[in-house]
């Protein structure tokens, strides 16, 4: 999870100045401070159920989400208003859209990971209690270890498939909040990808 947040921060810094939070050091510094607090408060396995740790975790994810929404909003506005920034640079447009899309996948993966079954710390103590998402390993115990529980990579895969296939594929949402979250992610992915690709094709022509 920490590596995913670091990757998302670096992706955001790599955006053109117009699409990132400026000055460029703001996002990595804020995320580093918050992540440092989380690691100090809960080193190693995430299993300490303290309210401030849960709040800080959500602040990290929310900050990253808002920063990426800012970038996505600026890009979509520029595409719809025929801004000249990428008028003759389809590669730059696709690269910028790709970075925003990838960051979007990471942020939604973090939200699924943080919200399912009360979060990572709650899952460490009650791994099978109150699931909102049903993974295939939970239904086919003969092909998975007896003590299998989802980790961040599983939620990241869910976010990736939701952004590419516009469906959860083999993972079932059995509560309303993940259904609504998946719907939101699919709409965001379709909007960003569709507009960026359409504009790039228009430039290439």
**Token pair for residue 39?**
């690691």
CA distance 159 to 184: 11
Alpha carbon of 196 to those of 56, 64, 99: distances in Å?
Answer: 33, 21, 12
Three-state DSSP state, 134:
strand
pLDDT in tens, 87-121: 778 888 899 999 999 999 999 999 999 999 999 88
**Residue holding tokens 């990253």?**
64
**Token pair for residue 182?**
């998946």
Handedness of CA 15, 67, 5, 29 (dihedral sign): positive
**Token pair for residue 171?**
């993972």
**Residue holding tokens 């961040």?**
152
pLDDT in tens, 25-40: 999 999 999 999 998 9
pLDDT in tens, 117-141: 999 888 888 888 889 999 999 888 7
Which pLDDT score is estimated for 205?
60
Q: Return the percent helix, strand and coil in the chain, to nearest 5.
A: 70, 0, 25
pLDDT band at 11 (very low <50, low <70, confident <90, very high): very high
CA distance 12 to 176: 30
Three-state DSSP state, 22:
coil
Query: Residue 168 in contact with residue 161, Cβ under 8 Å?
Result: yes
pLDDT in tens, 156-183: 999 999 999 888 788 999 999 999 999 9
Query: Residue 128 in contact with residue 116, Cβ under 8 Å?
Result: no
Cis geometry, peptide bond prior to residue 204 (ω within 30 degrees of 0): no
């Amino acid at each position: 999870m920490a590596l995913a947040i670091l990757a998302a921060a670096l992706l955001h810094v790599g955006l053109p100045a117009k699409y990132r939070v400026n000055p460029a050091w703001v996002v990595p510094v804020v995320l580093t401070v918050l992540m440092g607090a989380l690691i100090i408060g809960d080193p190693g396995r995430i299993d300490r159920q303290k309210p401030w740790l849960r709040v800080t975790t959500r602040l990290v994810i929310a900050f990253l989400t808002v920063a990426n929404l800012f970038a996505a909003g600026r890009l979509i506005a520029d595409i719809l208003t025929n801004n000249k920034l990428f008028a003759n640079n389809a590669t730059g447009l696709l690269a910028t859209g790709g970075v925003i899309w990838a960051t979007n996948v990471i942020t939604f993966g973090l939200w699924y990971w943080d919200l399912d079954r009360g979060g990572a710390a709650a899952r460490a103590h009650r791994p099978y209690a109150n699931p909102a998402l049903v993974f295939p390993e939970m239904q086919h115990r003969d092909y998975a270890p007896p003590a299998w529980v989802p980790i961040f990579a599983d939620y990241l895969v869910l976010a990736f498939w939701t952004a590419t296939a516009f469906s959860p594929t083999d993972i079932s949402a059995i509560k309303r909040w993940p259904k609504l979250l998946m719907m939101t992610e699919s709409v965001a992915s379709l909007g960003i990808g569709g507009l960026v690709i359409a504009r790039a094709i228009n430039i290439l022509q």
